[in-house]
Amino acid sequence: MPNRWKPNVTVAAIVEREGRFLLIEENTADGLRLNNPAGHLDPGESPIAACTRETLEEAGYDFEPTALVGVYLNRFRRTRTGDDITYLRLAFAGNLGAHHAWRALDDGIVRTVWLTPEELRSCRARHRSPLVMRCVEDYLAGRRAPLELIHTDASVLQAPL
């Protein structure tokens, strides 16, 4: 199978504090967009470790995942290239730790913002994907699964063969 389909695996942190959700505002090919702190799973990394790393890199916060909110599949067409891409997203709830305000955020990240669910619903046109709101809605509905459902075999963490 030379053209085997492989979705891009991403992780996202769904972080709520005092009725507001942590989001990042980022420059994209489609303009300024809102997203949950999220990013790609790197080689040699577990999904849980990836979520912790991405939250620090994109939002400047320590984050400890404590539950799986959901697993999502989304298809997207890149504006610039027309590439047809599918994303498999694992979204996590967890504990927010220290904020490292001195830390430079990832390329393209303009700032972090805290929005209420109502504020987030009112600006859907600015969401990076439909998964931004869906993950928050699932969190608000109380969807949580134990992290034990996600197993990363030790072979993933080893040096490449």
- How buried is residue 62: exposed, middle or buried, by Cβ count under 10 Å (0-12/13-18/19+)? middle
CATH fold group of domain 8-147: Nucleoside Triphosphate Pyrophosphohydrolase (3.90.79)
pLDDT for residue 76: 82
Cα separation, 111 vs 26, in Å, equals 7
8 A C-beta contact, residue 106 and residue 58 = yes
For tokens 């030790």, the residue is: 154
Average pLDDT value for the chain = 93
Distances (CA, A) of 128 to 101, 123, 141, 143, 159: 24, 11, 22, 22, 34
Cα separation, 12 vs 90, in Å, equals 6
Each domain of the chain, given as residue ranges in start order, spans 8-147
Q: How confident is the model at residue 42 (pLDDT cuts 50, 70, 90)?
A: very high
7's tokens:
């979705």
Q: How many CB atoms lie within 10 A of CB 96?
A: 16
Cα separation, 157 vs 109, in Å, equals 28
For tokens 């459902």, the residue is: 149
pLDDT for residue 69: 98
Model confidence over 103-149: pLDDT tens digits?
999 999 999 999 999 999 999 999 999 999 999 999 999 999 999 99
Model confidence over 53-78: pLDDT tens digits?
999 999 999 999 999 999 999 998 77
Q: How confident is the model at residue 14 (pLDDT cuts 50, 70, 90)?
A: very high
Q: Classify strands 8-14 and 38-40 as parallel, antiparallel or unpaired.
A: antiparallel
Q: Classify strands 61-77 and 145-146 as parallel, antiparallel or unpaired.
A: antiparallel
pLDDT for residue 23: 98
pLDDT for residue 78: 74
Q: How confident is the model at residue 2 (pLDDT cuts 50, 70, 90)?
A: low
Q: How confident is the model at residue 161 (pLDDT cuts 50, 70, 90)?
A: low
Q: What is the pTM (predicted TM-score) of this model?
A: 0.92
